[in-house]
Structure 1
């Protein structure tokens, strides 16, 4: 917290999630008064002034609870778990909208939204839901800050256990189709909490990545093998596989919600296999590592080292 900054009463929606938990820890360390909204009772940092489990899909009960806690600032770290159209509409848009209206009702003066950098190039249901809420937030009288992080360390950790056991690292194409500047939970939480007291981050959309350089999927794999002390072994998968699966499943979508959801999952997989998580340069239409801001100190190398240590 900057010198002379005022401690604030802050409600964190999604406090039991990975990022929400880290945000709460950072807020408490900065001396803010923190109220947590969670989906269920879960282990949380000590020091909360209040915790409530009222769902964000109940606007009346949410408004009542908001009147009880009277936050100055609301931080939303909620996100749909599956990315399916139904879940995205319910969480990424509707739940956030209910939260915003409740915040407006009690005179909160700042709403900080954890969004995603991939909304720059929307093709998926959850991206469109996030953008729809971003528009509503920008139109609100409450000051807003929209944080759009690149890839999380967690999203790049799915192959650690397999590599630790001697398996191959899966690539899409040649492994050079996409790049990102991954950021740790702790660094992202620090960035979000700094938005509370930094006036220059008000009414702004802020893309943010971790300390560079931008890394391709192949480079992530090479790093993981290096840290594991193993010779690199890769297996390539064509992203077109996901396109084919989506087309087949879409045939059943008009008749079954199950087919519709699975088709969307295949489209999500194809998107992440082919699109970089970097700032999209409006002039060139290309992803730009240079224009993607960097923040923090935690590195993917250190994260892999800790994960491999735990896997042994």
Structure 2
């Protein structure tokens, strides 16, 4: 993607309370854009959102919102309905470009939040507004949950042999720079942009090895079978018809199984297989560097 020359724009940013949204807000401010942060509460108020956009007249709308749990009700409310209200406000206020932060996992949709994201992607594509859909691979934060565990001398948990999946994780700041680079860039209009961080593609075992190296420790691993999530989803799902709690927990188990068994890389349309070579790369920040920072801070 050719980086455009930055030009100050009026931008409405939704999702700034999350780490990626916050990084995007910082990047936009650094580039001199006039940013209006859309409060999370405003996303539930169609009239209030329309008033906010009428007042601020955004030229570009960026959505970094995502359901926090991935549960069906939350996914429908946030990944679809809240984004639909943003789109309606963008169109009514005359915004010229809508940039959506989606996810690469929607390529193979099996989960409620993936279907909700795709439903909004379809609505955005069918709308009259110029748009860009950004589908990042794994984030650094999604591979950082075992830092304290390793620092405490415990083994790194892997699924199977640790090589079932691969990804090209991207940092929040690099992703923010990529999103900001879509503004005033004619090359990205109407496009779906899969994007990863600098390679190579990493397996979960690779990530563990990087974490141990950063901590100055010999790597030790403990294998967990992804089948436990399938079993949990099946058992808990027996009560899904009568219990919202059971339905939600069963979905969490399905989400866990998905991420334990599916790579976050671009699917090769010719083979139907995940391809590291076809997955675009962007940025310079590495997972190893991220681990070193976390260990230094903890």
| Same fold at TM > 0.5 | yes
Tell me the distance in 1 between the aligned counterparts of 2:51 and 2:251. 36
Q: Secondary structure in 1 aligned to 2:251? A: helix
In the superposition, the TM-score normalised over structure 1's length comes to 0.93
Match of 2:128 among 141, 158, 165: 141
Match of 1:230 among 183, 200, 217: 217
- Larger relative contact order, structure 1 or 2 (CA cutoff 8 Å, min sep 6): 2
Tell me the distance in 2 between the aligned counterparts of 1:2 and 1:238. 46
Q: Secondary structure in 2 aligned to 1:113? A: strand
Could you say which residue in structure 2 is the equivalent of 1:201?
188
Match of 2:4 among 2, 7, 16: 2
Q: What is the CA distance between 1:90 and its match in structure 2?
A: 0.1
Deviations 1:159-213 (A, max 9, x none): 0110001011000000000000000000000000000121101110000000000
The number of residues matched between the two structures is: 296
Runs of 4+ in structure 1 off by over 4 angstroms are: none
Q: Secondary structure in 2 aligned to 1:74? A: strand
Tell me the distance in 2 between the aligned counterparts of 1:262 and 1:193. 36
Structure 2, unaligned runs of 5 or more: none
Could you say which residue in structure 1 is the equivalent of 2:91?
104
Could you say which residue in structure 1 is the equivalent of 2:197?
210
Could you say which residue in structure 2 is the equivalent of 1:46?
none
Deviations 1:65-113 (A, max 9, x none): 2111110000000000000000000000000001001110011010000
Could you say which residue in structure 2 is the equivalent of 1:22?
23
Tell me the distance in 1 between the aligned counterparts of 2:198 and 2:7. 29
Could you say which residue in structure 2 is the equivalent of 1:44?
none
Deviations 1:22-70 (A, max 9, x none): 111111111111100133xxxxxxxxxxxxxx42122122112211111
The answer to whether the aligner puts 1:57 opposite 2:44 as a matched pair is: yes
Tell me the distance in 1 between the aligned counterparts of 2:4 and 2:137. 25
Q: What is the CA distance between 1:125 and its match in structure 2?
A: 0.1
Question: Aligned ranges for residues 63-212 of structure 1 at < 5 Å?
Answer: 63-212=50-199
Q: Secondary structure in 2 aligned to 1:55? A: helix
Tell me the distance in 1 between the aligned counterparts of 2:49 and 2:122. 22
Tell me the distance in 1 between the aligned counterparts of 2:228 and 2:43. 37
Tell me the distance in 2 between the aligned counterparts of 1:108 and 1:197. 13
Tell me the distance in 1 between the aligned counterparts of 2:21 and 2:157. 30
Tell me the distance in 2 between the aligned counterparts of 1:272 and 1:2. 35
Q: Secondary structure in 1 aligned to 2:178? A: helix
Could you say which residue in structure 2 is the equivalent of 1:45?
none
Structure 1, unaligned runs of 5 or more: 40-53
Tell me the distance in 1 between the aligned counterparts of 2:119 and 2:127. 13
Q: Secondary structure in 1 aligned to 2:182? A: helix
Q: Secondary structure in 1 aligned to 2:82? A: helix
Q: What is the CA distance between 1:226 and its match in structure 2?
A: 1.1
Could you say which residue in structure 1 is the equivalent of 2:277?
290
